[in-house]
């Protein structure tokens, strides 16, 4: 066996590991993106539950105090709900942005795998 042949084998093995690592990075980034989306959905759902609970507490507090639910009390409740909805949208947006960043990393890793595979062949 010549040194050139062994060197060629080593290059093929190195190339295979390089492609494998790029494919593995792609899979990992896709998995993380999915987890980030699920986490954001759970956080948004928790916030929605908290918001509904707050609305109930506000209504009960006003009723206990003998305040009619019209005018200012209604405005306070509505503004609390609007702020809560903005918080929920912010949670969803942050999750979407983070997931898209991982999606982009996954796409890049996939392209890297293809480039590494193709670049080993001399045309």
Q: pLDDT at position 122, please?
A: 56
Q: pLDDT at position 120, please?
A: 65
Q: Is the pLDDT of residue 118 over 80?
A: no
Mean per-residue pLDDT for 40-56?
97
CB–CB of 40/94 below 8 Å? yes
CA distance linking residue 26 with residue 107, whole number of Å: 7
CA distances (Å), origin 82, targets 17, 44, 48, 51, 79: 52, 14, 11, 10, 5
pLDDT tens-digit profile of 81-103? Answer: 999 999 999 999 999 999 999 99
């Amino acid at each position: 066996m010549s040194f050139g042949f062994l060197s060629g084998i080593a290059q093929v093995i190195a190339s295979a590991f390089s492609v494998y690592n790029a494919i593995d990075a792609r899979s990992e980034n896709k998995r993380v993106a999915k987890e980030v989306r699920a986490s954001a959905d759970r956080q948004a759902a928790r916030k929605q539950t908290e918001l509904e609970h707050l609305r109930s507490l506000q209504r009960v507090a006003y009723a206990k105090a003998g305040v009619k639910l019209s005018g200012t009390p209604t405005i306070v409740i509505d503004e609390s709900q609007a702020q809560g909805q903005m918080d929920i949208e912010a949670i969803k947006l942050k999750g979407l942005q983070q997931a898209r960043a991982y999606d982009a990393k996954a796409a890049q890793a996939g392209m890297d795998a293809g480039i590494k595979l193709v670049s080993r062949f001399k045309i």
